[in-house]
């Protein structure tokens, strides 16, 4: 079966790089983006230039974020996160590349410096001018005091969750490190991503072109199933559950 082949490939690999998307966190209660019920089926994404230009867009972005807070605050690592953390502790995974913003890989036991976040992190905020970090409780308090999206206490520019919006520059260091990881692994496993958002979606192909085996685990077809060595079209928690604690 697919899971047995995956087990063999994991056993044979010396350097595994996982690449995760929102599908690994759905069992933790966090909706993905493009499935039925996904975030982008309910809300139109707010592009970066709109956030910068429009106070209304900023208010809306923060209202949405505060509405999600109980969900993010309650989320704990699932079977997929825990399985990857086990392989990391076993020395098989040097670092993980993720599109997720939910902090669950860190919570599952990955050191911060071994989680390469391509799309940032929603559990804290940053000034888009000077980069100063803020916690969400501060943003909530400011929103309540002023009735609108918070501005930086130092430079007065807008403060935004520390995530990458459409149209916003990708984090250079994360892109560089993810490229190196994809180039130097022997097994690359894309987990829970529709693989439609670029440049993130380019990493499976980079790994494949550099000689890694490519596995895709996703319950729906993805854009890149045709280049994979193994496609497991199945639930992530069930597929990776057997690797928890190994």
- Residue by residue, DSSP assigns 96-109 as EEE---S-HHHHHT
179 makes contact, choosing from ligand OAD, Zn ion, none, with CB < 5 to 8 Å by partner type, with none
Q: Please choose, out of 27-35, 43-51, 133-141, 152-160, the segment that lies near Zn ion by the rule CB under 5 A.
A: 152-160
Binds ligand OAD by CB under 6 A, chosen from 161, 179, 194, 224:
194
202 makes contact, choosing from ligand OAD, Zn ion, none, with CB < 5 to 8 Å by partner type, with none
Three-class secondary structure of residue 214 per DSSP = strand
Strands 16-20 vs 159-163: parallel, antiparallel or unpaired: unpaired
Judged by CB under 6 A, does residue 104 bind ligand OAD?
no
Judged by CB under 6 A, does residue 50 bind ligand OAD?
no
The residues annotated with a catalytic role in the active site are 119
Tracing tokens 């895709």 back to the chain, one arrives at 216
Binds ligand OAD by CB under 6 A, chosen from 6, 13, 17, 21:
21
Binds ligand OAD by CB under 6 A, chosen from 16, 28, 30, 32:
32
- Judge contact between 204 and 188, C-beta under 8 A: yes
Round to whole Å and give the CA distance between 143 and 138.
9
- Judge contact between 46 and 61, C-beta under 8 A: yes
Binds ligand OAD by CB under 6 A, chosen from 3, 7, 9, 38:
38
Q: Please, what is the end-to-end C-alpha distance for the chain in angstroms?
A: 19
Judged by CB under 6 A, does residue 236 bind ligand OAD?
yes
User: What is the contact surface with Zn ion in residues (CB under 5 A)?
Assistant: 127, 129-130, 132, 152, 154-155, 157
């Amino acid at each position: 079966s697919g899971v047995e082949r995956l087990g063999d490939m994991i056993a044979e690999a010396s350097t595994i790089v996982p690449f995760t998307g929102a599908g690994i966190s759905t069992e933790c209660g966090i909706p993905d983006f493009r499935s039925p019920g996904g975030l982008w089926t309910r809300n139109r994404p707010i592009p970066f230039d709109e956030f910068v230009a429009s106070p209304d867009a900023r208010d809306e972005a923060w209202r949405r974020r505060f509405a999600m807070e109980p969900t993010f605050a309650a989320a704990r690592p699932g079977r997929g996160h825990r399985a990857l953390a086990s392989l990391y502790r076993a020395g098989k995974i040097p670092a993980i590349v993720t599109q997720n913003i939910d902090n669950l890989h860190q919570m599952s036991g990955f050191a911060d410096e071994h989680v390469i976040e391509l799309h940032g992190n929603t559990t804290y905020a940053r000034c888009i001018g000077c980069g100063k970090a803020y916690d969400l409780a501060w943003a909530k308090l400011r929103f309540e005091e002023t009735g609108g999206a918070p501005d930086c206490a130092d430079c007065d520019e807008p403060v935004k969750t520390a995530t990458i919006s459409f149209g916003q520059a990708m984090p250079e260091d994360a892109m560089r490190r993810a490229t190196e990881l994809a180039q130097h692994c022997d097994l690359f496993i894309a987990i829970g991503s529709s693989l439609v958002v670029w440049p993130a979606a380019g990493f499976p192909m980079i790994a494949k072109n550099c000689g890694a085996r490519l596995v895709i685990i996703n319950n729906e077809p993805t854009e890149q199933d045709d280049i994979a060595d193994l496609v497991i079209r199945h639930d992530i928690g069930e597929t990776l559950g057997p690797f928890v604690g190994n």
